[in-house]
């Protein structure tokens, strides 16, 4: 019999009606006596290895007059087996995203393609992204990610986009942007997942890096530079490991999440009149010169709804727990 070191056990000895007390020995040394039936005591093993327990019944309460045979048992004290780390299950992770406010999921790109020039939209809205660049030079497909395979870009010319916005206007529209990113402090872009307008720096929402730090960054801008002209940032998302980044708008409240934890918040009133006409991954399409991301991305998603804290946490939990359930 194996006993786990550090775990408490109750040792009990059954005896006949003439027994008035019981003495317990471990490896020949007395460790406890009990004068009330049932005769037992609680013991927490600490010394690893093979041991013996013996219980001797006595016909008196002072340890005289043996009333029965001594019973001896052998056991081994072992360390507890470590709790295995759950293995991420890409299919289940995707299922949680697809089950989260599906009517409001406007675009979802798993980035699990292994060849070609298209990142397929899994939301059912047919919003595929077209990849720009030379494969295996500016971008790579089929590389191992955290949740299946991922899309990696070189920071020079690789990205994916489409010539419309999955949210065509930010006017009075809540949203949530989400993606898994892997990159270092040289990731290089503040807009790794974005909706934008190709002719202006306004009319956009995006998430990415607060370069050159390891923090995540987010920004939304309506049809003016006066509201939320500066981004806000927090958390650790670009340290060479995979992290989830989410950006939520709920009315005038804006929240940034890293790995399911809210790391920054701000408020703003976005100017109305916005029109967006691009959706992009790893390089924003707007007026002016913009950078290209150097790193990897997978499971990018955009909702035209403010997901609840619990829904964002459920998606994060799905990274390691195979059966989380999103809660509105």
DSSP 108-154: EE-----SSSEE-B-SSS---EEEES-BTTTEEEEEE-SSSEEEEEE
Model pLDDT, residue 234: 96
Does a structural domain hold residue 172? Answer: yes
Tokens of 249: 């708008």
Does 190 share its domain with 309? yes
Does 241 share its domain with 153? yes
251, 174 contact by CB (below 8 A): yes
Of 45, 78, 111, the last residue of a domain is: 78
Does 73 share its domain with 95? no
Low-confidence ranges of the chain (pLDDT < 70): 1, 15, 17, 60-69, 81-91, 226-230, 321-328
Does 41 share its domain with 65? yes
Does 13 share its domain with 151? no
Of 26, 45, 78, the last residue of a domain is: 78
Residue 64: which domain range? 2-78
Model pLDDT, residue 327: 46
Does a structural domain hold residue 153? Answer: yes
Please, what is the Cα angle at 308 between 307 and 314, to 5 degrees? 90
Does 181 share its domain with 40? no
Does 140 share its domain with 261? yes
Does 136 share its domain with 257? yes
Model pLDDT, residue 326: 47
What is the spatial distance between Cα 311 and Cα 328, in angstroms, rounded to a whole number?
A: 6
Model pLDDT, residue 46: 80
What is the spatial distance between Cα 283 and Cα 291, in angstroms, rounded to a whole number?
A: 6
Does a structural domain hold residue 327? Answer: no
Does a structural domain hold residue 110? Answer: yes
What's the total number of domains in the chain? 2
pTM of the predicted structure, to 2 decimals: 0.72
271, 204 contact by CB (below 8 A): no
Does a structural domain hold residue 85? Answer: no
Does 61 share its domain with 188? no
Query: Domain with 16 in it: what CATH number?
Result: 2.60.40.10
Does 277 share its domain with 186? yes
Q: Order of strands, edge to edge, in the sheet holding 71-78? A: 2-4, 71-78, 49-58, 21-26, 29-34
Of 78, 109, 129, the last residue of a domain is: 78
Does a structural domain hold residue 289? Answer: yes
Model pLDDT, residue 196: 97
């Amino acid at each position: 019999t194996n006993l786990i070191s550090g775990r408490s056990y109750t040792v009990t000895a059954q005896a006949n009606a003439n027994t008035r007390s019981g003495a317990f020995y471990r490896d020949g040394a007395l460790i406890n006596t009990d004068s009330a039936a049932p005769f037992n005591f609680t013991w927490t093993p600490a010394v690893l290895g093979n041991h013996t327990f013996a219980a001797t019944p006595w016909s008196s309460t002072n340890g005289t007059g043996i009333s029965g045979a001594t019973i001896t048992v052998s056991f081994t004290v072992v360390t507890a087996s470590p709790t295995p780390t759950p293995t991420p299950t890409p299919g289940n992770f995707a299922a949680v995203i697809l089950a989260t406010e599906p009517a409001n999921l406007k675009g979802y790109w798993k980035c699990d393609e292994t060849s070609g020039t298209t990142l397929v939209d899994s939301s059912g809205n047919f919003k595929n992204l077209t990849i720009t660049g030379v494969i295996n030079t500016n971008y790579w497909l089929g590389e191992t990610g955290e949740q299946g395979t991922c899309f990696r870009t070189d920071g020079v010319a690789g990205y994916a986009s489409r010539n419309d916005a999955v949210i065509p206007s930010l006017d009075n529209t809540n949203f949530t942007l989400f993606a898994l990113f892997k990159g270092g402090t040289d990731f290089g872009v503040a807009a790794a997942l974005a909706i934008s307008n190709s002719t202006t720096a306004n009319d956009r929402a995006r998430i990415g890096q607060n370069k050159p730090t390891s923090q995540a960054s987010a920004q939304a801008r309506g049809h003016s530079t006066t509201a939320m002209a500066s981004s806000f940032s927090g958390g650790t998302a670009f340290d060479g490991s995979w992290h989830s980044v989410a950006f939520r708008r709920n009315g005038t409240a804006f929240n940034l999440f890293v790995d399911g934890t809210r790391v920054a918040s701000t408020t703003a009133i976005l100017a109305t009149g916005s029109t967006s006409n691009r959706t992009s991954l790893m390089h924003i399409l707007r007026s002016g010169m913009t950078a290209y991301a150097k790193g990897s991305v997978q499971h990018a998603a955009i909702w035209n709804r403010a997901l609840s804290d619990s829904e964002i946490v459920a998606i994060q939990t799905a990274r390691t727990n195979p059966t989380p359930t999103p809660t509105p």
